[in-house]
Each structure stands twice: as structure tokens, then as C-alpha cells.
Amino acid sequence: MLRAVGLSRTYGRGESTVWAVDALDLDVPAGQTLAVTGPSGCGKSTLLQLFGGLDRPTDGEVWLGGRRIDHLGEQALARLRRRAVGFVFQAFHLMDELTAAENVELPALLAGASPRAARRRAADLLDRVGLTDRARHLPAKLSGGQRQRVAIARALVNEPLVVLADEPTGNLDSAATHEVLRLFDELRAGGQTLVMVTHDERVAATADRVVSMRDGMLADDTRLDDGVGSGGSGGGPRRSGASSELGALLGWEG
């Protein structure tokens, strides 16, 4: 579903070049929940941004849903970020002046859903994350855990091929962390492909697989799934035909 081939991203030039990601190969099968760990500065966020089309590699390839995405033009990349990827960030990044429901609706509207369909999807998702009674609240009136649950609902509204989460529990206390992990567990059971960057071992322990990075490279790759319901190449049921969906999502042929 997601693949990095010889992926590199450098910053700067000459002697001061930083290899944020260094010739990294990684394959994330459809339906897998992957945790990416490693010390600060090892390249985790950079990798996630390359996977989601938020940044471009210096070298190598990124594949999403069977398509190479690192060469896409700006418009196609913007469409891909909107339709095929759901982002969840440590700092939530909700729109302060929009209600919880409006925050969830927005990416659906931007992707072309009718207002009515967007409202219905947002209501369903807020129900799924247990926030129906907070739908009309502004983010400022929500707790951190509630804000992150709104952000997760927002990430899911366009049924992305992959959810990418960077330190999703980094700003949360342990009760709120627990709520978010419960949601991720539901996503995993539903076959959602999910890549999450985390420092928290409890969070990593909920994944099917944990990779750790050092200096832009993979240092370790451990499969945690117990085999229940998985065919050996990632846990959970698959979304049928997910790997052929990207072209359709983006309005491309063949």
C-alpha cells in the first residue's frame, strides 16, 4: 500500500548536508498498522511527510496504492493529500473558528462532497469517536483528547487509503491516550492502513509492526502481530481492491 524505495531527503548542501532520510526501503502492506520509533531527529516526521506527499524526496521513490507519487505535480499532490491520505498531528491542527463537526466536514467539502453528504459523514464519524454531544463545540471548548478524536474523524472523512499520524498522543494525558489508542485499534480491526510515529512504547505496542529509525535509516523491524486474523502480510481484513483505488480517487485513468 505504501512503499519507499531508496528514499532519501537531505537538507542543506556540502559539508552541512543533513540526511534526514537516507536510502530507506520500507514496504507497508494494506491493512498493516505500523509504528515508527527512534530518537529525536532520526527522520521520522520527514519520512511521514514524504509518504503523505507533504514533502518531496531528494532521491528514491514513494509509492502509494500502487502508484508512484513522488513525481506528481503540485495539483495532483494536493488532490492526493486531500483524498487518499488522512493526517493526524501532535498539535491537532484544527481550525479554531470552526466547530468540531465543521472541522470534520471541511475536507469532505473540499473533495467535492455535497454539504448534505459531508454533514452526514461528519455526524457518523463524530459518533464513531464518541463526540456526538460535542459536535457544535469549537476546539477551544474541547479537551486535548477530544480535539484529537475530532482530528482523527477529520482524517477519516474521505476514506483515505492510509492514515499517517505523527506523535498522535504526544500532547495527551494517559486517559486521552487510551481513548485515541482504542480508536486506532478499531481502525486496525477495520483494515485501515495506518502509520504512526511515536515515542510512547504503549502506543507502539498496539501496532502490528514496529520499525525504529537511526540517522535516517531503519535500525530495526519487528512484527508484533500475533497472527490472529492475518495472512502473514499484515493484520486485519483488507479493504477490497484498495491498491487499485488511487487512480479512481484522483480521477486518473487505468
Q: Which does 198 bind (CB under 5 to 8 A by kind): Mg ion, ligand ATP, none?
A: none
Among 43, 53, 86, 145, binds ligand ATP (CB under 6 A): 43
User: What amino acid occupies position 122?
Assistant: A
Segment interacting with ligand ATP, rule: CB under 6 A, options 34-42, 101-109, 124-132, 227-235 = 34-42
Separation between Cα atoms, residue 237 and residue 177, nearest integer Å:
25
Question: 246-253: long-range contacts at Cβ-Cβ below 8 A with a sequence spacing of 24 or more?
Answer: 246/64, 246/65, 246/66, 246/67, 246/80, 246/84, 246/161, 247/67, 249/65, 249/83, 249/84, 249/161, 250/76, 250/79, 250/80, 250/83, 250/84, 251/79
- What is the distance between the alpha carbons of residues 6 and 57, in angstroms, rounded to a whole number? 10
Query: By CB under 6 A, which span of 42-50, 134-142, 202-210, 221-229 interacts with ligand ATP?
Result: 42-50
Q: Give the range of 36-44, 70-78, 203-211, 236-244 binding ligand ATP by CB under 6 A.
A: 36-44
Backbone angles phi and psi of 214, in degrees to 5: -140, 125
| Cell numbers linked to 247 | 487512480
Q: Which is nearer to ligand ATP, 17 or 174 (CB)?
A: 17
Q: How far is the CB of 57 from ligand ATP (least distance, A)?
A: 13
Q: Which residues contact 154 (CB under 8 A, 6 or more apart)?
A: 86, 94, 103, 104, 106, 107, 125
Pairing of strands 193-197, 33-37: parallel
# binding residues, Mg ion (CB under 5 A): 1
Asked if 91 touches ligand ATP (CB under 6 A), the answer is no
Helix (H) or strand (E) holding 2: strand 2-11
Residue span binding ligand ATP (CB under 6 A) among the ranges 41-49, 77-85, 96-104, 178-186: 41-49
Residues near ligand ATP (CB under 6 A), total: 11
Among residue numbers 39 through 58, which ones bind Mg ion (CB under 5 A)?
45
Which of 103, 177 has the CB closer to ligand ATP? 177
Instruction: State which residue, 12 or 229, has the beta carbon closest to ligand ATP.
Output: 12
Question: 3, 44, 147, 209: which one contacts ligand ATP (CB under 6 A)?
Answer: 44
Which residues are 86's β-sheet partners? 163
Among 4, 20, 113, 161, binds ligand ATP (CB under 6 A): 20
For ligand ATP, the binding residues (CB under 6 A) are: 11, 18, 20, 38, 40-46
